[in-house]
Chains A and B, each alone.
Chain A
Amino acid sequence: MPEPSKAPAKSTDVANAGFSHLATKASSGQASKNSTDFLVLIIDVNPLSWASNFSLSSQASIASRELESVLDAILIFLNAHIAMQHENGLAVYAASLGLAKLLFTTAPFASKGDLGGSSEAIKSKPDANTYQHFRHVDNAVLQGIRKMAREVSEKDQTDTASNQATLGIVSAMSQALCQLNRLTMTDQTGSEQSLSGKTPGTLAAKSSMSSRILILSATPDASTQYIPMMNCIFGAQKKGILIDVCKMFGDDTVFLQQASHLTGGSYFRLDEQLGLLQTLMSAYLPSRSIRELLNLPNQDEVDFRAACFCHRKIVDIGYVCSVCLSLFCEPRPQCLTCKSKYPQSTLERFAQENQNRIK
């Protein structure tokens, strides 16, 4: 950080207005712990879903204008997050069709050379009216997304059919988890060195970093992503990382609902585009330490029901292959996934049970 003091900037004057009491509460309550908050923001900039959402109402140019207004809101939110506490960390990923990119990170180990490509621009033209740190973030995110949009459209022209199905969200999530893992590791060794004299040093070191991932989602679920997504969720769960989800538009995604439910984050579906900034500031800005005092939006009912592999029917009582754990809604002689054959005796037993039930 270039300056130790929190210089108020134009954009965050407004943004932080209602939150000063929260920030002071956080710093006074957790001062002894010195908990830093590391936020990973994943922005879904999948052009297909953005276009399809806004093409219904009007032309395609609306979509890009919408994206810009959303980005404005996001930048205000990011600046507010940095301004909340001096030690707060931040990483921003953009996820698009089949690729995910790191746009900005404050992680000390990461090479910042070619992330946004914006460092030269800043050096050449320091702006007296903006806090340098905010400028770094803004430039990196905006230019990163611009660059990415260009890449995606180029890629679309060269090979159209290849990467259509895969989404970048899971890739971004896994990259974010890797970075958080690395960060907690360096954090622990760093604080162990500094706290080597004190006995509860290791405990404090472990709890000092609280990290969360906020996903701004726009794209519906892709069923091929189920297993990687679940693995990411369990990885986050094990590491104690929250996953917050803000669904900007479109239908609810069941996977992300499960993600936020399993990791203890909050899921919110935005009804009104204009409410994005307010939602971000009021629901997702407060750090983890004061979250427990707030009544955050949460989904009441998470769909954990299982769907069978054969007809995609929701089942109460299913038949599971012991080899590959595929789920079927009715007994069948052979597994659809792994082709293993089931013994005749079990099939007969199930048939008999079913007959009994019908009687």
Chain B
Amino acid sequence: MPPRGADDDYVGENEAIPEEEEDFLDDDDSGDEFQNLTPLPRLGRPGLRAKASAPAAQAKGKDSTKPKGKAKDAGYSWEATYKRSWDNVHEDESGSLEGAVRQMIDGNKRKRVMRDVAPVQRGIIRHLVLLIDLSSSMLEKDMRPNRFELTLQYAKEFVNEYFDQNPIGQLSIVGTREGIAERIAQMGGNTIDHVSALSNKRKLEPRGEPSLQNALEMARSSLAHLPASNSREILAIFGSLTTCDPGNIHDTIATLQKDQIRVSMVSLAAEVKILKEVCTKTGGSFSVALNEGHFRDCLFELLPPPAVEGPKRKAGGQADGIEASSVVQGVDLLQMAFPLRLPAHSEPTLCACHSKLKGSGYLCPRCGSKVCDVPTDCPVCGITIVMSTHLARSYHHLFPVSNWVAVGWEKVDEKSCPRCFSCAIPFPEKPGHANAAMNGAAAGKNKFNGTATSAAATSAAKKSTGAAKDDSGLAPSSRYACLKCGNHFCLECDAFVHENLHVCPGCC
């Protein structure tokens, strides 16, 4: 628990809440369920605040120390044995670290590429609520420039990337500060609206205490009514170690579970028990950001549509992973409308979404009303309006490019192409491998990416003695082969094809 002395501040803040409560209910046009909630405490009782697990809270504390030792999944990092991270870095023959550093960078690249490509059903039609903590703890400067600025910046990037990868998904943004939740952006499919809402820093200025329960309830209210075929998710960025809740948060967790809403969280401070519990109970992921880069990675991991839970998982071993026998939850037939696009120079008419006079737009084929942007739900008849390209954009989640395997030197012979199949960069020459097996043991863990002859020989020897793949998945010959077409590619193309292109240049 944090030092009790800090409570005095909270009491003052809590007293201010009831006044704002009415505003909040008026502002919210879709969150009807809030009226049913127990009202926020009128007394200055701090509620279920300070759920932080004791060691984590102590580590963070109220003092100004900014510990970088964040909690990991297994125990706390300070309980683990000391890791001599610098032992992993080795100099090469010329005493330079360049090779080692490059290998680490390449290893990261490769790791990102090696995604799970097993065919699973994915909740393509996503509805996600991005929940942002706007409490005063977001002003901490342990991440540069501070948590708040960084969060807004990453959130904007996330929104852009989210709509790029999930073109028929929708997003809403909810913030929480001073013990209440506020809707920052309505559920919708328009990138510009969301990004402009996030750009308004003055409106989002962090202050007071966050309320996890209020925020979750508000998020739930905008997700609960959706049909079962949509995947419902909440992604929370939480900087505070405490939360100021009006009721029992475990009830909220139970309702979230019942509504099959998946909650994922990225904590900027420490592993807090209640935050983790929300995530584990609802099937989401919980992570603690170690630094700026890791924070970004944690967020962006959640960009691809999630695999659908349940019986589908077990069927993953089958050819296409889909059971034909029974109706499975999440499978549904959806009605979608493909609109008529009006050219920009057509006669201006009023649009149904903003009531603005505009030339361009799309006509709903069912009711004939005009909307500015697709994909969206028709404001008049409610049908989902999409373009065929939006559907096409989602196909790569369903038919991903299979992972390419690292190629060892022993598989490289005269017949294999001397350059990358797609970008034509020459591969390094195959070293004379007569003595490869002999001097393998000497160099130990020193693995280089096929640049230095001796290091490459070492890796080749490793491969031949049974240690087929090193941890990083890097190829000693810097070749990566597609199993289907058998062509060899370089690491850059590997990353580009799997992250952006989603087409194997050799197979198509």
Contact = CB atoms under 8 A, between A and B. Distances in A.
B32 interface: no
Contacts of A258: 389
B384 to A, nearest CB: 8
A102 B424 contact: yes
Interface in B460-508: 492-493, 496-497, 500-506, 508
28 contacts: A109-B424, A109-B425, A110-B419, A110-B424, A111-B419, A166-B508, A170-B503, A171-B505, A179-B422, A179-B423, A181-B492, A182-B493, A227-B392, A228-B503, A230-B392, A235-B502, A262-B389, A306-B391, A315-B338, A320-B336, A321-B333, A322-B331, A322-B332, A322-B334, A324-B398, A340-B324, A342-B331, A342-B332
A339 interface: yes
Contact of B418 (A111, A178, A227, A342): A111
Contacts of B505: 171, 174-175, 178
Nearest to A261: B389
B493 A322 contact: no
A315 B366 CA distance: 12
Contacts of A327: 336, 391
A304 B326 CA distance: 35
Contacts of A338: 320, 322
Interface string A297-341: 000100011100000000111111111110110011010001111
Contacts of A239: 500
Given A317-B338, A320-B333, A340-B331, A111 B503 contact: no
Given A174-B504, A317-B335, A318-B336, 15 more contacts: A107-B423, A109-B425, A175-B423, A179-B422, A181-B493, A316-B365, A316-B366, A319-B333, A323-B330, A325-B124, A325-B395, A341-B326, A342-B332, A344-B327, A347-B333
B387 interface: yes
A interface, size bucket:
35 or more
A234 B426 CA distance: 27
B416 interface: no
A166 B328 CA distance: 36
B223 to A, nearest CB: 16
A109 to B, nearest CB: 5
A190 to B, nearest CB: 15
Contact of A230 (B366, B393, B497): B393
Contacts of B327: 341-344
Interface in B294-325: 320, 322-324
Contacts of A344: 327
A339 B322 CA distance: 7
B338 A238 contact: no
Interface of A: 102, 105, 107, 109-111, 113-115, 166, 170-171, 174-175, 177-179, 181-182, 185, 225-228, 230-232, 234-235, 238-239, 258, 262, 300, 304-306, 315-325, 327-328, 331-332, 334, 338-344, 346-347, 350
A243 to B, nearest CB: 14
Given A181-B492, A230-B393, A231-B502, A319 B335 contact: yes
Contacts of B332: 322, 342-343, 346
A231 B395 contact: yes
A187 B326 CA distance: 54
Nearest to B490: A182
A150 B492 CA distance: 32
B125 interface: yes
Contacts of A325: 124, 391, 394-395, 398
A342 to B, nearest CB: 4
A244 to B, nearest CB: 19
Contacts of B508: 166, 170-171, 174, 225, 228
Contact of A320 (B324, B334, B392, B396): B334
A133 to B, nearest CB: 19
Contacts of B388: 304-306
Most chain B beta-carbon contacts within 10 A, residue among A110, A114, A231, A238: A231
Most chain A beta-carbon contacts within 10 A, residue among B326, B336, B341: B336
A296 to B, nearest CB: 16
A178 B423 contact: yes
A177 B164 CA distance: 18
A227 B503 CA distance: 9
The 4 closest A-B pairs by CB, nearest first: A178-B422, A111-B426, A316-B365, A306-B388
A110 B418 CA distance: 11
A178 B506 contact: no
A169 to B, nearest CB: 9
Contacts of B10: none
B425 A111 contact: yes
Contacts of A110: 419, 423-426
B343 interface: yes
B24 to A, nearest CB: 34
A170 B506 CA distance: 10
Nearest to A234: B393
A166 B485 CA distance: 13
Contacts of A105: 424
Contact of B492 (A102, A115, A185, A324): A185
B383 interface: yes
A345 B121 CA distance: 21
Contacts of A304: 338, 341, 387-389
B163 interface: no
B336 to A, nearest CB: 5
A106 B112 CA distance: 30
Contacts of B502: 231, 234-235
Contact of B496 (A115, A178, A317): A178
A341 B331 contact: yes
Given A227-B395, A238-B500, A331 B333 contact: yes
Contacts of B396: 227, 231
Interface string B327-354: 1101111111110010100000000000
B321 to A, nearest CB: 9
Contacts of A318: 335-338
B423 to A, nearest CB: 4
A343 B331 contact: yes
Contacts of A315: 338
Contact of A113 (B320, B418, B420): B418
A93 to B, nearest CB: 10
B503 A174 contact: yes
B229 interface: yes
Nearest to B506: A171
A179 B334 contact: no
Nearest to B493: A178
B422 A175 contact: yes
B493 A350 contact: no
Contacts of B326: 341
A204 to B, nearest CB: 22
B503 A340 contact: no
B225 to A, nearest CB: 16
A341 B324 contact: yes
A344 B323 CA distance: 17
Most chain A beta-carbon contacts within 10 A, residue among B331, B365, B426: B331
Contacts of A107: 423-424
Contacts of B338: 304-306, 315-318
B485 to A, nearest CB: 10
A340 B366 CA distance: 27
Interface in B398-430: 398-399, 418-426
Contacts of A347: 333
Contacts of A178: 420, 422-423, 492-493, 496-497, 501, 505
A331 B334 CA distance: 9
Given A179-B422, A230-B392, A350 B335 contact: yes
Most chain B beta-carbon contacts within 10 A, residue among A228, A300, A339: A228
A221 B496 CA distance: 26
